[in-house]
Structure 1
């Protein structure tokens, strides 16, 4: 299996990545919002706070 970041062979320790660096690059992309699940845009995100309407 190839690493999704750099296309090198993955290693069992960091699967599906080849190294900690590539795993960290992928995590950073998630945290920045670079990855998006497709779907219709939400007009309003529901709140978990019952006092907020």
Structure 2
């Protein structure tokens, strides 16, 4: 298996990375937003808000 950051062979201690440095680089990418897990949550929230606004406009 090769390190996803540099392509070198992995070490058991840092798997799936080859070193602490590459593991830290990967962590930094997650923390600064370079990596992102796709989500439709914003779209769902917008749809809920639109539905709520429509219901509020209806007379009681």
Do both share a fold (TM > 0.5)?
yes
Q: Which has the higher helix share?
A: 2
Structure 2 stretches of 5 or more lacking a match?
46-60
Larger radius of gyration: 2
Normalising by the residue count of structure 2, what TM-score does the alignment of the two structures yield? Answer: 0.66
Query: What is the total number of aligned residue pairs between the two structures?
Result: 44
Normalising by the residue count of structure 1, what TM-score does the alignment of the two structures yield? Answer: 0.73
Q: Which has the higher contact order (CA 8 A, sep 6+)?
A: 1
Provide the aligned C-alpha RMSD in A.
1.4
Query: Hey, which bits of structure 1, 4+ residues long, moved more than 4 A?
Result: none
Structure 1 stretches of 5 or more lacking a match?
45-53
